[in-house]
C-alpha cells in the first residue's frame, strides 16, 4: 500500500525568509505523480506544485520549488521569500498514473505560519 509521511506537524518562518517542508512516501509503483496542495483557512484545496516521477528535473512554480529524490522517496517543498498569504496547511500527496488512475493519497499535513 502507498503511504505518505509528513514529519513536521507545524512550522513557522519569518516573512521574506525561506522554509522547507518535508515529505516521504512509500510505493512499489514506478509511474506516479507527487503533489503539494495548500489549504488556507478558507479550507479550499489549492494545487501548489506537481512532479511526475519520470522527470528528473525538479518542478518549480515561481517561489515554490521541490527537491525530488526518487531513490530516497523524498519530495520536499521549498518556499522562497515567504509571504503572509503562504500561511496555510500544506499537504503532500501521491497518485499513481497509467491506465485508470487511482486516488490521491495525502499525508497528515504541515501547518505553516508566516510571521511578520
Partner 1 sequence: DAGVIQSPRHEVTEMGQEVTLRCKPISGHNSLFWYRQTMMRGLELLIYFNNNVPIDDSGMPEDRFSAKMPNASFSTLKIQPSEPRDSAVYFCASSFSDRATGELFFGEGSRLTVL
Q: How far is the CB of 47 from partner 1 (least distance, A)?
A: 6
SS3 for 86? helix
Smallest distance, partner 1 to C-beta of residue 56, A: 17
Interface residue list for partner 1 (CB under 8 A): 33, 35, 42-45, 47, 50, 52, 91, 95, 97, 99-109
Reduced to 3 states, what is the DSSP secondary structure of residue 85? helix
33/64 with CB nearer partner 1: 33
Rg (Cα) of the chain, in Å, rounded?
14
Which of residues 29 and 81 has its CB atom nearest to partner 1 in the complex? 29
Nearer to partner 1, 32 or 82 (CB): 32
Name the region of 9 (left: φ>0; alpha: ψ -120 to 50; beta: rest).
Answer: alpha
Q: Is 84 helix (H, G, I), strand (E, B) or coil?
A: helix
Give the nearest distance from C-beta 36 to partner 1 in angstroms: 11
Residue (of 1, 26, 21) closest to 11 by Cα position: 21
* CB of 53 or CB of 114, closer to partner 1: 53
Amino acid at each position: 500500500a502507498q503511504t505518505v509521511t509528513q514529519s513536521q506537524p507545524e512550522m513557522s518562518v519569518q516573512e521574506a525568509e525561506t522554509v522547507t517542508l518535508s515529505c516521504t512516501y512509500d510505493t512499489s509503483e514506478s509511474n506516479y505523480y507527487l503533489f503539494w496542495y495548500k489549504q488556507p483557512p478558507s479550507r479550499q484545496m489549492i494545487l501548489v506544485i506537481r512532479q511526475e516521477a519520470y522527470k528528473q528535473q525538479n518542478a518549480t512554480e515561481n517561489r515554490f520549488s521541490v527537491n525530488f529524490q526518487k531513490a530516497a522517496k523524498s519530495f520536499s517543498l521549498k518556499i522562497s521569500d515567504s509571504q503572509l498569504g503562504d500561511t496555510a496547511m500544506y499537504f503532500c500527496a501521491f497518485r499513481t498514473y497509467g491506465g485508470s488512475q487511482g486516488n490521491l493519497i495525502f499525508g497528515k499535513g504541515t501547518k505553516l505560519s508566516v510571521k511578520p
